[in-house]
């Protein structure tokens, strides 16, 4: 949203100029494609750990250099700065400093050369796997440092195009959960002391551990901005709006997410206590109440737990407030899963797994919204798959069958699991 094209698109859509930021933003993506390849080649790098780090650092540096070129091209186009002589002067400086091959001094040519370097880095990884690479084989550009390379490029742009050398630039790193640990350490250390013209916008989920001595600290060196919804209701409201938009685009019909997927008792909205419903969640007569009552009659550990918390197992309806939050909401998923996947065997005096095939409980709009955890990309992917599986029932209404929903959620969850495993360091932590 901070890049020049994004701001132009926003201004066009909203019919007014984007607020002045006071800096130019460079977006640096963290999806360096062969990082996963390097992790899989862990054994090959075992005897050369410094070589692995050097190639990883070079990959991120080249990615940042490419981002600088993209930003410069966007600014020249959107701000009408076209001047072949000035672009030539800028490109010449970058060719000299970044060890690029002598060629036509053009930003477009530089972009191609940098993309070629990414191919070269992937080759270096493969050579390391083949035990045919040592540190002495690395070219000079592999040793360029990330922040000094980008800072120099920004200053070179300001100089070439006659901008104030005090102009500010923002390095925007998103999805830092994909980044190697060395980069997190570097960025959060740099928040304390770096070029005053350089700002940092760091986006990550989950939040990295930055409590190591020497790292920046919140409120002192940077301002943390929480991008997640403050409550379950607000998060679900956002998800429902995005889901509705996706459904409208894919199906071209007026059907709500709830109508398409139905409801789910396990993932019901505990915070939605509308006065229009007969039995509020966990209240006497509700589905949760009936299930907990049923299970406590055969499960002595559950019955004892409720008694220890001051809740009558024969009437498990606690008053609203902290007790319901701290006890009932926590045991609800456990009770549901134990009820659906196991039974109490009196002869063996313990719970055993049910032998028959169990219907999955992962279906319904609340389940999808909660599983997505408010992640727009994840949620959009889920609903695209749901729309593809939608069928008309006997009444002619579009729905997605429960088994189809469970299958899609299992598949997408497996893909997300593999994605998490591909994050550098995730398998060793």
Task: Give the Cα separation of 389 and 402 in Å (integer).
Answer: 11
Number of domains in the chain: 3
* Average pLDDT over every residue of 59-75: 94
Residue 228 has pLDDT above 50, yes or no: yes
Tell me the mean pLDDT in the region 279-292. Answer: 74
Summarize pLDDT for 140-149 with one digit per residue, the tens. 999 999 999 9
87 and 17, same structural domain?
yes
pLDDT at residue 1, as a whole number:
58
Query: So what's the pLDDT on residue 345?
Result: 76
Summarize pLDDT for 76-121 with one digit per residue, the tens: 998 899 999 999 999 999 999 999 988 889 999 999 999 999 888 8
pLDDT of residue 82: 92
pLDDT at 423 over 80: no
Task: Take residue 287 and report the two structure tokens written for it.
Answer: 């589905």
Range with lowest mean pLDDT among 143-152, 204-213, 295-304: 204-213
Express as a percent the part of the chain with pLDDT over 70: 77
| CA geometry: angle 346, 349, 353, nearest 5 deg | 80
The pLDDT of residue 280: 59
Q: Which of 168-172, 200-204, 382-386 has the lowest mean pLDDT?
A: 200-204
pLDDT (tens digit, 9 = 90+) per residue, 2-48?
778 888 888 888 888 888 788 899 999 876 554 555 555 555 566 66
* 273 — pLDDT class (breaks 50, 70, 90): very low
Name, of 96-105, 319-328, 364-373, the range with top average pLDDT.
96-105
Higher pLDDT, 357 or 350: 350
Per-residue burial over 189-210, b if 16 or more Cβ lie within 10 Å, else e, is: bbbeeebebbbbbbebeeebeb
* Residue 383, in any domain of the structure: yes
Residue 287 pLDDT more than 80? no
Residues 189 and 258 in one domain: no
Instruction: Judge if 260 and 322 occupy the same domain.
Output: no
* Residue 131 pLDDT: 66
Whether 427 has a pLDDT exceeding 80, the answer reads no
277, pLDDT greater than 50: no
Q: Is 275 within the bounds of a domain?
A: no
What is the model's pLDDT at position 276?
39
CA distance 210 to 184: 8
Tell whether 214 is covered by a domain: no
Residue entry with tokens 């139905």? 262
pLDDT at 38 (0 to 100): 54
**Residues 242, 343 within the same domain:** no
- Average pLDDT of 343-351? 76
**Does residue 248 have a pLDDT over 70?**
yes
Q: Between these two residues, 197 and 422, which has the higher pLDDT value?
A: 197
44 half-sphere exposure, CB direction, 13 A CA radius:
19
As a whole number, the mean pLDDT across the chain is 79
pLDDT at 144: 95
Assess whether 102 and 243 both reside in one domain. Answer: no
Q: Domain check: are 87 and 181 in the same one?
A: yes
Query: What is the pLDDT confidence band of residue 208, given thresholds at 50, 70 and 90?
Result: very low
- Residues 115, 22 share a domain: yes
Domain boundary residue, one of 325, 355, 385: 355
Question: Residue 403 above 70 pLDDT?
Answer: yes
DSSP per-residue codes, 243-272:
HHHHHHHHH-S---HHHHH---STT--TT-
Residues 145, 260, single domain; the answer is no
Q: Cis before residue 206, ω within 30 degrees of 0?
A: yes
pLDDT of the residue at 65: 96
Q: Name the residue range of residue 321's domain.
A: 282-355
- Is pLDDT larger for residue 10 or for residue 168? 168
Same domain assignment for residues 44 and 115:
yes
Same domain, 380 and 340: no
- Claim to verify: residue 122 and residue 187 sit in the same structural domain: yes
Q: Are residues 366 and 339 in the same domain?
A: no
Residues 192-204 have a mean pLDDT of 82
Number of Cβ within a 10 Å radius of residue 292: 26
b/e sequence 114-143, b meaning 16+ C-beta within 10 Å? beebbeebbebbeebbeeebeeeeeeebbe
pLDDT higher than threshold 70 for residue 390 = yes
- Cα separation, 121 vs 128, whole angstroms: 11
Share of the chain above pLDDT 90, in %: 23
pLDDT at 324 over 70: no
Give me the DSSP letters along 92-104.
HHHHHHTTPPS--
**Contact by Cβ (8 Å): 4, 71:** yes
Is the residue at 269 inside a domain? no
Of 182, 202, 222, the position where a domain reaches its end is 202
Q: E strands, 120-237, where?
A: 169-173, 198-202
| Better-scored residue on pLDDT, 324 or 316 | 316
More confident residue, 355 or 24: 24
pLDDT score of 388 more than 70: yes
Whether residue 15 lies inside any domain: the answer is yes
pLDDT average, residue stretch 174-200: 81
């Amino acid at each position: 949203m901070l890049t020049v094209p994004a701001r132009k698109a926003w201004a066009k859509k909203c019919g007014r100029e984007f607020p002045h930021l006071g800096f130019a933003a460079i977006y640096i993506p963290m999806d360096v494609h062969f990082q996963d390849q390097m992790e899989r080649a862990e054994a090959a790098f075992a005897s050369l750990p410094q070589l692995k780090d050097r190639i990883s650092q070079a990959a991120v540096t080249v990615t940042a250099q490419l981002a600088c070129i993209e930003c410069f091209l966007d600014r020249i186009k959107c701000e009408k700065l076209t001047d072949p002589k000035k672009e030539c002067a800028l490109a010449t400086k970058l060719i000299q400093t970044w060890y690029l091959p002598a060629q036509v001094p053009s930003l477009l040519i530089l972009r191609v050369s940098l993309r070629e370097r990414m191919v070269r880095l992937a080759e270096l990884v493969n050579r390391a796997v083949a035990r045919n690479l040592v540190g002495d084989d690395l070219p000079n550009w592999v040793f360029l440092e990330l922040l000094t390379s980008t800072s120099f490029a920004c200053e070179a742009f300001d100089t070439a195009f006659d901008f104030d050398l005090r102009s500010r630039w923002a390095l925007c790193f998103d999805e830092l959960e994909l980044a190697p640990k060395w980069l997190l350490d570097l960025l959060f250390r740099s928040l304390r002391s770096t070029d005053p013209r350089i700002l940092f916008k760091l986006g990550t989920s989950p939040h990295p551990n930055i409590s190591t001595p020497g790292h920046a600290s919140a409120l002192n060196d940077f301002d943390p901005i929480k991008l997640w919804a403050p409550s379950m209701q607000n998060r679900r409201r956002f998800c429902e709006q995005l889901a509705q938009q996706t459904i409208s685009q894919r199906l071209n019909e007026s059907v709500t997410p709830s109508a398409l997927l139905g409801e789910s008792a396990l993932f019901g909205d505990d915070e939605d206590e509308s006065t229009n419903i007969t039995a509020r969640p966990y209240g006497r007569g509700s589905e949760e109440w009936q299930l907990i009552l049923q299970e406590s009659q055969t499960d002595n550990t559950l019955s004892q737990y409720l008694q220890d918390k001051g809740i009558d197992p024969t009437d498990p309806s606690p008053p609203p407030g902290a007790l319901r939050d701290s006890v009932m909401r926590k045991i609800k998923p456990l009770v549901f899963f134990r009820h659906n996947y196991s039974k109490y065997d009196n002869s063996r005096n313990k719970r055993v797994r049910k032998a028959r095939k169990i219907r999955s409980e992962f279906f319904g709009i609340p389940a999808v919204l909660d599983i997505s955890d408010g992640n727009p990309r994840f949620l959009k992917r889920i609903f695209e798959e749901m729309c593809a599986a939608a069928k008309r029932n006997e009444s002619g209404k579009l729905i997605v069958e429960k088994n189809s929903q469970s299958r899609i959620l299992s598949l997408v969850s497996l893909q997300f699991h593999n994605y998490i495993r591909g994050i550098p360091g995730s398998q060793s932590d």
